[in-house]
Amino acid sequence: MSVQSKPRVRVPATAKKDELIEIKTLISHEMESGQRKDSAGKPIPRKIINKFTAAFDGKVFFEADWHPAISVNPYQSFFYKAQKSGSFAFKWKDDDGTEYAAESKLAVS
């Protein structure tokens, strides 16, 4: 059964200057390790999300390298100190080169 990869992010819409906000991300993904076999006994090719990046106004501020031990539908949370209004861009990269992306805006007062 194949899962439709879908990224989801939760970023507060507004924050006060210098406020520490929590960002939560989740992507629906099977994270196939490459160690299982199909019904015909052939190995199922490895297909995992191996790289995650978060950028604010084009500047990467958080990145993670993921490995086969990461669970199905990987979840990542982290904190960001709000300095100014702008846009977040999140990217997940798969073994086969497929990239998934999500965006979110933040208004700082």
Secondary structure letter of residue 12 according to DSSP:
-
CB distance 85 to 106 below 8 Å: yes
Domains present along the chain, CATH in parentheses:
6-34+46-108 (2.60.40.10)
Strand-strand pairing, 6-10 and 59-65? unpaired
- Tens digit of each residue's pLDDT, the chain (109 residues): 455 788 999 999 999 999 999 999 999 988 888 888 999 999 988 889 999 999 999 999 999 999 888 889 999 999 999 999 999 999 999 988 999 999 999 999 9
Alpha-carbon gap, residue 41 to 69, rounded angstroms:
23
Alpha-carbon gap, residue 13 to 23, rounded angstroms:
11
